[in-house]
Amino acid sequence: MNFQSPDLHAYFSGRWTFSRTMVGADDVLIGEAEGAAEFLPVSGMSLLHYKEAGQLRLAAGQRVVGFSRRFDYEVAGDMVHVAFADGMQLGQAYQSYRYDAVEQALLPVETHLCILDRYDGSYRLTNADSFELRTRIDGPHKDYRVHTHFTRQPG
């Protein structure tokens, strides 16, 4: 894999497993999740349909909750535009990223605002078979960090 100018569409395409940690501003564990994700290429387009599903273990009370989420990833050269593909925000833009070869990461072009809360994420491409997504959410209603580690499934 050429990390100076990777084919981002090909890099993300496929099936992945993930582990996720959510930590509050005071470094208190909120929850941990595990699951599976898939980036499905759309024939003849630079679009990837992303879907994930898993189990979230909340630290308070050790309750386990199932979850799923979908996004659309539009890849255009060194840019990736992410939009919501489910829920009440279906079709709305989430965040755009530009690939930085020095950092080997997709860095946010702009901050996503949800009311007054800010979402800033970055994707660090660790190697051909793993990457990390780190998201910081802060504002008057939210203050936590989410760290997700993805590992490509064989085949």
8-152 adopts what CATH topology?
Answer: Lipocalin (2.40.128)
State phi, psi for 131 to the nearest 5 degrees.
-150, 165
Q: What does the pLDDT read at residue 102?
A: 93
Can you give the residue ranges of every domain in the chain?
A: 8-152
Per-residue pLDDT of the chain (155 residues; tens, 9 = 90+): 566 778 999 999 999 999 999 999 889 999 999 999 999 999 878 999 999 999 999 998 788 999 999 999 999 999 999 998 988 878 888 899 999 999 999 999 977 656 777 878 999 999 999 999 999 988 888 888 999 999 999 87
Q: What does the pLDDT read at residue 113?
A: 57
Q: What does the pLDDT read at residue 142?
A: 84
Number of continuous H segments (helices) and E segments (strands) in the chain: 1, 11
Answer yes or no: are the C-beta atoms of 68 and 55 closer than 8 Å. no
**Site of tokens 């630079």:** 46
